[in-house]
Amino acid sequence: MILVTGGAGFIGANFVLDWLAGSTEAVVNLDKLTYAGNLQTLASASDNPRHVFVQGDIGDTSLVARLLAEHRPRAVVNFAAESHVDRSIHGPEDFVQTNVLGTFRLLEAVRGHWAGLPEVEKTAFRFLHVSTDEVYGTLSATDRAFTETNRYEPNSPYSASKAASDHLVRAWHHTYGLPVLTTNCSNNYGPYHFPEKLIPLMIVNALAGKSLPVYGDGMQVRDWLYVKDHCSAIRRVLEAGKLGETYNVGGWNEKPNIEIVHTVCALLDELKPRDDGKSYAQQISYVTDRPGHDRRYAINARKLERELGWKPAETFESGIRKTVEWYLANAEWVRNVQSGAYRDWVNKQYGATPA
């Protein structure tokens, strides 16, 4: 079996569901269930005997040690993190706590367990750390896409805390020999994405008749990858990645934010037109930019393609259509995640939004 951390969040839950569907191995899923964790996402796995959910913190060394001793996973895949840049600007401490200290404690618990394993299990063991392209900082319009040898130049509290965690993972390999792998992925989108991130926020606000807040001039560029493709990349790296190496994961889909918002509006115009027949694009509203907003991210994922034969299955066009369709078909999931905590965040970040 494998141990997944943060498996009730957006990417972790997609990974767990795909894993249960595509393999015969069991998963122990350790998640603290912060505002971003949602057991509803895992409802289809609740009766599956191959899925063991444990609510807890990656920073709880004794809990992690107990889970490792009890279940003896062959691998740990670490998704658990505070992941939202805007939240990291309002409250960076949680990011340092989970992403830095939590990763450190998780590494220590895993190292203690791994060191005591019999040789065969020790050799086969893997610790895969899921990270982001944001650790590389920002690019100008003409810079080359990030490769694995780019300097780390994180600019937000979120990316700085993820960069710190990547460095700890690297050091635990070089110093203690822990068999680690790291993936640095671009922006994900797809089912079960918490509606405080760009794409789900735009879908949910559009349908609710609210404004679509675009930061600054909307010309910031991100590379977008469908979440299931990120999950397949992680499985591939886990299976065949070279120990101690890092792999960039991306979708070759660089797009300015405003184009993303227009694409979402056009799909909604087609699939669920407004009652008045006007376009959802009418709801777009330019708002104050994010402080320190990185202008462009772009990922060169050739290493993963060349060495491990991975390629994304979805184009942006196919993935975004599936995503909008998923949100239209899963209004109840959306309603349920829009709890008090979600509303508090929206008020804090955007002020009272026009109804």
* Residues making contact with ligand NAD (CB under 6 A): 5-6, 8-12, 30-34, 36-37, 57-59, 79-83, 98, 102, 130-132, 162, 185, 187-188, 194
List the single partner that 12 binds among ligand TYD, ligand NAD, none, CB under 5 to 8 Å by kind.
ligand NAD
CA 38, CA 16: separation in Å to the nearest integer?
A: 13
Q: Given the structure tokens 């008090």, which residue do they identify? A: 340
Count of beta carbons in the 10 Å neighbourhood of residue 35: 17
Q: Between 126 and 210, whose beta carbon lies closer to ligand TYD? A: 210
Q: With contact defined as beta carbons under 8 Å apart, do 111 and 172 qualify?
A: yes
* CA triple 63-69-74, angle to 5 deg: 110
Q: At closest approach, how far in Å is the CB of 185 from ligand NAD?
A: 4
Q: At closest approach, how far in Å is the CB of 64 from ligand NAD?
A: 9
Alpha helices in 150-256 (DSSP H): 157-176, 198-207, 227-240
Q: Which of 57, 82, 133, 229 is catalytic?
A: 133
**Binding stretches for ligand TYD (CB under 6 A):** 85, 187, 197-198, 201, 213-215, 220, 222, 257, 290
Active-site residue flag, 134: yes
Q: Between 54 and 207, whose beta carbon lies closer to ligand TYD? A: 207
CA 49, CA 38: separation in Å to the nearest integer?
A: 19
Q: At closest approach, how far in Å is the CB of 273 from ligand NAD?
A: 29
Q: Between 80 and 201, whose beta carbon lies closer to ligand TYD? A: 201
Q: At closest approach, how far in Å is the CB of 198 from ligand TYD?
A: 4
Active-site residue flag, 158: yes
**What is the rounded (10 degree) CA torsion for 148, 253, 185, 139?**
50
Q: Which of 158, 189, 226, 247 is catalytic?
A: 158
Sign of CA dihedral 195, 249, 308, 7: negative
- The catalytic residue positions are 133-134, 158
